[in-house]
Structure 1
């Protein structure tokens, strides 16, 4: 924690800034990010949880190879579809890409619509231990077989605090909450309340 605090102070002294371009799907985020990057000397950093997968370029409207060649683009198509990317993994990669941009005298431009990714940088991130493959498999199976509403009802019986924060139709978050409870024996809400990873060491400017 002391090292993280020293890093934040060092970056704050240097006045580091990062730009966030967020918004709904097909709202022109990528085109805007590219235009800003070309004008201001920026590096576009992907903050979309699907565009990190190299096999999903067409499905996710990922920037074309020609567009990616115009300015530096980071974290696009870096994982195979079979490999699961986590928020913690993306946060670490994004911080490294931001530092690379600053060192090169460029503006980091975080572009995407995955709110969890953005909040992991702006607000910090709870450190949750690995829940284990058995818990993950069970959560996915229950969602597939019973649906998210049924799994939400199960969650409400064992973890009412977390269940009250989630929409029953939100299959991803309901599944994650069940996975954490089964894998760690504690509520995701409990883990989120613990001291975790700090916000990124910079000032954010948002655009949408």
Structure 2
């Protein structure tokens, strides 16, 4: 590759054939399939997510499938760090990283990077989630609109996870 590191990204909707295509391409191109589906990182969700079966995983290397227990809270920042490491390992082994999945946020984090958002204290995180649980995401979104309209404008009022996180960061 003469110094140029390449990767292939396969993204698209659920049940569109991404995994089968990734497997086929990995076989033909000496690739490593790297998961970019937020649910497929969890060990216990094999059946619910159409994760590659053991035969597929033996045919070509697969990374970041079933690596977290369901009780562990994953994050896009964690996934990005792991995906970049898996890509580096593939390049070092002379293989093509094939990033495959339908989680757009993961793909954007990989290609565009992540904003530097400060970590919050656990009590602030808990308070933000409790507020959303008690009042609902739209009500907290309205509060956020009053104090940080720029951030609030980028969020859907019903997206409880992102609204809670934005409130927590603002706090």
TM-score clears 0.5:
yes
Of 98, 101, 116 in structure 2, the residue corresponding to residue 112 of structure 1 is 101
Q: Structure 1 unaligned runs (5+)? A: 1-11, 183-208
Q: How many residues align?
A: 171
Partner of 1:180: 169
- Please report the TM-score for the alignment, with normalisation by the length of structure 2: 0.91
The superposition leaves residues 102-124 of structure 1 with CA deviations (integer Å, 9 ceiling, x where unpaired) of 11111101111122211222112
- Please report the TM-score for the alignment, with normalisation by the length of structure 1: 0.76
Of 109, 114, 125 in structure 1, the residue corresponding to residue 114 of structure 2 is 125
Structure 1 position 28, deviation (Å): 1.6
Regions of 4+ moved over 4 Å: none
Partner of 1:139: 128
Give the 3-state SS of the residue equivalent to 2:47 in structure 1: coil
Partner of 2:148: 159
Using the alignment, how far apart are the partners of 1:58 and 1:26 within structure 2? 14
Q: Structure 2 unaligned runs (5+)? A: none
Partner of 2:138: 149
| 13 and 36 in structure 1: CA distance in 2 versus 1, 3 angstrom threshold | closer
Structure 1 position 95, deviation (Å): 0.9
Using the alignment, how far apart are the partners of 2:2 and 2:122 within structure 1? 43
Give the 3-state SS of the residue equivalent to 1:76 in structure 2: coil
Coordinate RMSD, CA, aligned: 1.7
